[in-house]
Each structure stands twice: as C-alpha cells, then as structure tokens.
Amino acid sequence: MNTESCYCYPSGVGSTSAGVAVEWNHDSALGTVDRAQFVFTEVATGNQTKYEVAPLFRTCIGLVAGIYRVGIFAKGLEVHRSLIELRAGAVVPFKPVLKPDTAKPKTLAEILTKFEIAGSVNPRNLDVPENTTVVLDSDDHQFKGDWHTVEIKDVDSAKRMIGNPDEYFAGGHSRFRSTISSQESPNAIARQAAGEFVYGNSAAVKQWTDSINRAVFDEIWKIPVFAYDTVTINKGGVLVIGNRGNFFICSNLRMHVTATLLVRGQGPIHVEPASFRTFC
C-alpha cells in the first residue's frame, strides 16, 4: 500500500482521478516565507490549476491523471519548475525544496544587448500626464529620438529577443496543444510550429527550424523598439503601444493605480520593463 494513501486520497470518483501530496520546504534564511503558489499545467490540454500552499504543511490536491508541468513561486526564492506524472487512482508524493533567489535584477543594458542595439541608445524619461493619452508612433516626430530598429533574421533570433526560454517548460513536451495536421500545407505547418518554437518549447519542434525560417523569416523583420529609462504613467493616463510602436522597453515602469498600458494593433508586439511598480 502506498504510504501516502494513509493521508491523502484521489478526489472524485472514476478511473481518471489522481492526487498529489505536496509538502514543500526551503533552505533559505528567510523565515517570513509563509506560502508558495503552485501552478499545475496539464501537458495534454494546457489547463492550469493553482493553489497556495504553506511550507512544511501536507496538502492533498486532487487532479485528473496525466502529465503536469509544475511551477512554484515564492517571494525571495528561486522559481521551481519540474514535470510530474499522476497515475489514476494513486497519490504521488511531491516534496520540493526551494533555494534562495540569487539572481540579480534585470537591467535595461541587458535588454538592449539582447536586442543588439546597446551601443546606439541613450534613453530618456517619459512622463504621461494625468488624464492624457500618449500613443507611441515611429511616424510621430516627437518620438524621433526614442526608437531604434531591431532586426529579427530567423526563428532563433526571435526566440532570443522576444520568446520564452525553453527551461520554462520542463521535459520535451510542447507548451501549446498540438494543432499541426498532416492535412495542412507545409507553410501552414511551419507557421504553427513557429509559435511553439518562440513562445513555448523549441525542442518540441526543432525539426521544423529550416521550414520556419523559409516560411516565416524569408525576409528580415525590421521592427521599431521604443527604449526609455523611467516611464511614469500618472493618474488616469494611458500609454498606447501598437502599430509603428511595436516593441517597448524601459528601466523602470511606474503606473498610477488608475493608469493604463494599452497594447493594440498588429503584432508582433513586445513589452519588457526591467522593473515595475504602482503608486497611488
């Protein structure tokens, strides 16, 4: 008999019910870490289930049997990412130990280097006044010195500049539900695979790399990126990012609790502040 069954039972009735017995801890000196958010993402469907769990407290969670990516988020601790398989009618023990977060805060210089424009940018501050809408537009003369052209030459460049790292997705499984069909044309398949490559797990569609580059990056993408130091959106203010203002990066993004950052228009659109906070 599984010893975990003495404490936890799969919830619900039926052959697809399973359970996970969570009991996590950390080796940080931070005694104030009183909870972590667990995010279970079912690989087959992309469905997510979220729970807040206290450390050293056994918590029994009922889920449908299957393979799950697990992300664990707690203040001051490294994000934990792993893959677990839940079997029907069984309870799986899960006892991760989180480590202190030693990563340095991201800087604008690092973002500029990623976009290969570090040597040509001298960012200024941008202030959106109260109850005012400001639209970033590369055709608007007032923003002439604020934007620079980024060149995305292939799918690997797109992954590096605007995509998600593969380490976000434990295992070799795709992030998105597979919609690739043998009935589609080669170009259509390549375009579908491009989304997984850039924003999901590139390892899952690595065999499509050449086809993606031929279908999607047959020409170099040239996209304006607006780069600022500190951007402040004051009370009731709206900053619009979209057509002809596709990428927006800054050192610090400060937003009043009533302010809006509005993203609209045709893509690709990318927003990446090195730090963010709200104010009243």
Structure tokens at 196: 């997984």
What residue ranges of the chain have pLDDT lower than 70?
A: 1-15, 30-31, 177-183
Angle in degrees, CA 51, 167, 262, rounded to 5:
70
Structure tokens at 265: 């228009």
Structure tokens at 179: 């919609």
- Can you list the positions of beta strands (E) in 136-244? 147-152, 221-233, 238-241
Pairing of strands 17-22, 59-64: antiparallel
The closest of 241, 224, 225, 223 to 152, measured between CA atoms, is 223
Q: Hey, which residues does 86 pair with through a beta bridge?
A: 66
CA distance 60 to 92: 10
Q: For the CA atoms of the chain, what is the radius of gyration?
A: 23
> Integer distance in angstroms from the first to the last C-alpha of the chain?
56
The closest of 202, 194, 196, 114 to 161, measured between CA atoms, is 114
Q: Where are the domains of the chain?
A: 3-98, 108-152+220-279, 166-215
Q: Residue 51 — φ and ψ, nearest 5°?
A: -140, 150
pLDDT recorded at residue 265: 79
The closest of 221, 235, 236, 225 to 272, measured between CA atoms, is 225
Residue with tokens 């109260």: 130
> Coil, helix or strand for 2?
coil
CA distance 39 to 157: 29
Q: Residue 162 — φ and ψ, nearest 5°?
A: -125, 0
Please give the helix or strand (H or E) that residue 162 lies within, else none: helix 155-162
Residue 244 is classified by DSSP as T
The model's pLDDT over 232-247, given as tens digits with 9 standing for 90+, comes to 999 999 999 987 778 9
Structure tokens at 118: 């570090």
Contacts of 140 (CB under 8 A, 6+ apart): none
Whole-model pTM? 0.81
On the question of a cis peptide bond just before residue 96, with omega within 30 degrees of 0, the verdict is no
Instruction: Indicate the CATH number of 3-98 among 3.40.1410.10, 3.40.50.620, 3.40.50.740, 2.60.40.1120.
Output: 2.60.40.1120
CA distance 238 to 234: 8
pLDDT recorded at residue 176: 79
Residue 154 is classified by DSSP as S
